[in-house]
Amino acid sequence: MGNNVSIGLLGLGVVGSGVIKLIESHQEKLSHQLGCNVDVKGVLVRDLDKYREVGVDQRILTTNPDDVIQNPEIDIIVEVMGGIELAREYILKAFAAKKHVVTANKDLVALYGPELQEAASNNKCDFYYEASVAGGIPILRSINDGLSSDLIRKVMGIVNGTTNYILTKMDKEGLSYETALKQAQELGFAEADPTSDVEGLDAARKMAILCRLAFSMDVDLNDVEVKGISSIDLEDLNYAKQLDLTMKLIGYANFEDQKLDVSVQPTLLSHNHPLSSVNNEYNAVYVYGEAVGETMFYGPGAGSLPTATAIMSDVVTVIKNMLLNVTGTQFVEPHFKKDLKAPSERFAQYYVRMHVKDEVGVLSIISKLFNERKISFKQILQNPVKEKGTAEIVVVTHQTSLENFRTAMKQLHELDEVIEIKSNYKVEGDAEE
């Protein structure tokens, strides 16, 4: 590799442009650390003539992927084109051509991470994807290296900036979901079709990646239970305030007795929880380790330069491995066979809001129903509502199993006294845990 390491980019969108900018502006620090220069020798684009803000030599642009992947001068391929099948094909080709690969592609890594890792290893190539989870936060290497000697028990993440922005606006400014979403779209925090973000799919992908590393288990995207934020009502945010709770879209993973419980869902967090003060488009990942206790990693979850920073941290790692001649050595087989907790093994507190008949004895009937399932209440609020003869009751339960809670909800629904169960949410981070 001489005194130069050369990079090939697949894609030159927002993140790819960030990588080019970062290499140019931080060349001095890079070469000081590495003792060699880093340059970009090829960039796959869709349209050669498109106007680009970032200054890049037209001669290195190409529409032919092989010009980058098979270029003998290129050592490291940075995949920032997005999409799944084509990206996978190019990356596998890159490994076959003995190129190391760094990617920011969470969709791809969530679906094909283990396969790609194995292909890398078989070719003695490096494969890194720090940027695929929580953008600029070095969370994957913190889990892999910083907490390497600990047993991680819990990972909770605010790993989608779009939904965190929307929920913050709803919570702090009382905006409706629709208005907050529109604002997020205008600011570029949400896409024109926001489904993948607001329905929790994007967060689920990141949780699958995090779980694999944190718990050394081959977690599938389908193993992550998902619920989005699109049906959240301002009413519940107002009650949350009275209860000293904050609504966040939380990716939650808990590993006990070698069994995993992983979900993405709107969750009411106690104000004591470090994640509860993570606002706007910021991301954070909370990691609970048996020995270390509570840690949290906070930063920007997206954006051109933050994501490029994560990509370049991987590129620096690959270059150091190349210099030491130890590429392709980071792969470790999963330690545990996949085993997911049953609903009877998943414990949490819950918030339930319901409309009931405004009659004497209703609260006692409801309490009895919960008590028969051994679910006790931690907090109760009752308010009259506009519709005549109707009262609104909000309860927060103590810990119970999901199975138990589901049965209680079913029975509650069947009660004559209950007009409608308006909402129910998991509650986390309370001191009783």
What is the set of active-site residues?
Answer: 206
Q: CB–CB of 144/213 below 8 Å?
A: yes
26 binds a second copy (CB under 8 A): yes
CB-CB neighbours of 365 under 10 Å:
16
Question: Toward a second copy, which CB reaches closer, 89 or 294?
Answer: 294
- Known binding residue 16? Answer is yes
- Known binding residue 323? Answer is no
Shortest distance in whole angstroms from residue 260 CB to a second copy = 16
Binding residue (CB under 8 A) for a second copy from 1, 86, 234, 326: 326
φ and ψ at 375, to 5 degrees? -105, 120
Whole-number Å distance between alpha carbons of 85 and 381 = 51
308 binds a second copy (CB under 8 A): yes
Binding residue (CB under 8 A) for a second copy from 145, 191, 256, 433: 145
Site for a second copy in 333-392 (CB under 8 A): 335
Choose the binding region for a second copy from 61-69, 156-164, 245-253, 313-321 (rule: CB under 8 A): 313-321
Q: What are the CA-CA distances from residue 375 to residues 13, 216, 254, 356 (Å)?
A: 52, 34, 21, 19
300 binds a second copy (CB under 8 A): yes
Binding residue (CB under 8 A) for a second copy from 50, 57, 58, 148: 148
Whole-number Å distance between alpha carbons of 132 and 144 = 15
Shortest distance in whole angstroms from residue 31 CB to a second copy = 10
φ and ψ at 211, to 5 degrees? -60, -40
Given the structure tokens 């819950």, which residue do they identify? 350
Binding residue (CB under 8 A) for a second copy from 180, 217, 243, 305: 305
φ and ψ at 148, to 5 degrees? -60, -30
Whole-number Å distance between alpha carbons of 17 and 21 = 6
Token pair for 257: 């007795």
Choose the binding region for a second copy from 4-12, 235-243, 299-307, 377-385 (rule: CB under 8 A): 299-307
Question: Toward a second copy, which CB reaches closer, 294 or 420?
Answer: 294
222 binds a second copy (CB under 8 A): no
Q: What are the CA-CA distances from residue 103 to residues 87, 131, 236, 313 (Å)?
A: 10, 7, 39, 11
Side-chain half-sphere CA neighbours of 10 within 13 A:
32
Shortest distance in whole angstroms from residue 263 CB to a second copy = 23
Binding residue (CB under 8 A) for a second copy from 7, 68, 137, 214: 137
Whole-number Å distance between alpha carbons of 206 and 252 = 11
- Known binding residue 13? Answer is yes
30 binds a second copy (CB under 8 A): yes
Write out the residues near a second copy by the rule CB under 8 A: 18, 22, 25-26, 29-30, 32-33, 130, 136-138, 141-142, 145-151, 216, 274, 277, 282, 289-300, 303, 305-306, 308-310, 312-313, 315-317, 324, 326, 329, 332, 335
